[in-house]
Structure formats: structure tokens, C-alpha cells
């Protein structure tokens, strides 16, 4: 059986319009969600390599070792823990930026050294339905040890 190579982290991956810089928008995750935001150049290469099938041209890791535990408390779709509500609202706002395209949120409980051993959920959701998507990372809606959610703006 494969060993766990990293765990308890989140990633935002997206494409940008030419010459756009949205890194300042990510500070909201530090201020409101207590994440440490790492640009792609500071992310461990084993993480990027492991998740490469989900990644777009720009990727940030948003670290908070405790955050994934919030999903353990989320038993019913309608009863969203406050930390996840704040996170979801920040994602919706980020997705509204006209320069951001193809936003994918990747929630990692743990990642195995052998990618084939991972149980991965990939889903597409309108940004207004972000909580429906995030619920797949909850204990009750458990869809795997890695959850990749692609958000889109249009209907």
C-alpha cells in the first residue's frame, strides 16, 4: 500500500487574462480564513506533480492544517460550519473577478504516493452553488481523500 506524501491542505488553480495579477485578492484568505497563501514557486514540487491533472496556469496553496477538519463537523448540507461559509463566500468573490478563468479548488485530506490509490472526486459547480460542491469534502458527503471542484460563472 502506498504511503501518504502530504495532507490537510487546499489549492486554488486558475487561468488569468494576460498580464493580470490577482495575488492581492488572495489576501482575503489569510485575513478571514487564517490561511497561509503560498504562490506556485513556494509549493513543494511533489504536491504540484501529484495534482498536475487538476492544475491550470496559476496555482496557489492555501495552507491551514486545521481547516479540513471543519468538514468533519459538516453532517447536513443545510448546516454549514461557519469557517466553511466564510471560505465559500471568499471563493465566490474570487471567482467573480473578471481576470480569473477556470477556477479549480482542490481540497486534500491526504495524498498517497501512488496516485491510483487516491479516491478522487471531481465535480463542476456554478459559483452560486459552491456549498453543494464543498459538501463533497464533508464526512457525510465523503467523496474521497481529494476533492477537486471546478467553478464556473455562466449558466
Of the given ranges (7-16, 112-121, 123-132, 135-144), which has the lowest mean pLDDT?
135-144
Residue 25: per-residue pLDDT: 79
Nearest to 146 by CA among 47, 56, 76, 77: 47
Residue 32: per-residue pLDDT: 83
Residue 152: per-residue pLDDT: 85
Give residue-wise pLDDT tens across range 39-97. 999 999 999 999 999 999 999 999 999 999 999 989 899 999 999 999 999 999 898 88
Distance (Å, rounded) from C-alpha 131 to C-alpha 92?
A: 10
- 126 with 19: CB under 8 angstroms? no
Which 8-state DSSP code applies to residue 51? Answer: H
Residue 31: per-residue pLDDT: 87
Amino acid at each position: 500500500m502506498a504511503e501518504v506524501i502530504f495532507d490537510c491542505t487546499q489549492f486554488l488553480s486558475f487561468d488569468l487574462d494576460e498580464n493580470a495579477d490577482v495575488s492581492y485578492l488572495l489576501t482575503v484568505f489569510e485575513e478571514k480564513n487564517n490561511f497561509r497563501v503560498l504562490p506556485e514557486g513556494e509549493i513543494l514540487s511533489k504536491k504540484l506533480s501529484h495534482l498536475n491533472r487538476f492544475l491550470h496556469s496559476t496555482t496557489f496553496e492555501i495552507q491551514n492544517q486545521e481547516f479540513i477538519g471543519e468538514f468533519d463537523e459538516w453532517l447536513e448540507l443545510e448546516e454549514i460550519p461557519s469557517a466553511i461559509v466564510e471560505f465559500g463566500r471568499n471563493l465566490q468573490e474570487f471567482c467573480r473577478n473578471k481576470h480569473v478563468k477556470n477556477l479549480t479548488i482542490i481540497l486534500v485530506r491526504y495524498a498517497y504516493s501512488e496516485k491510483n490509490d487516491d479516491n478522487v472526486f471531481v465535480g463542476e459547480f456554478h459559483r452560486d452553488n459552491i456549498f453543494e460542491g464543498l459538501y463533497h469534502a464533508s464526512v457525510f458527503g465523503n467523496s474521497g481523500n481529494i476533492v477537486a471542484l471546478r467553478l464556473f460563472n455562466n449558466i
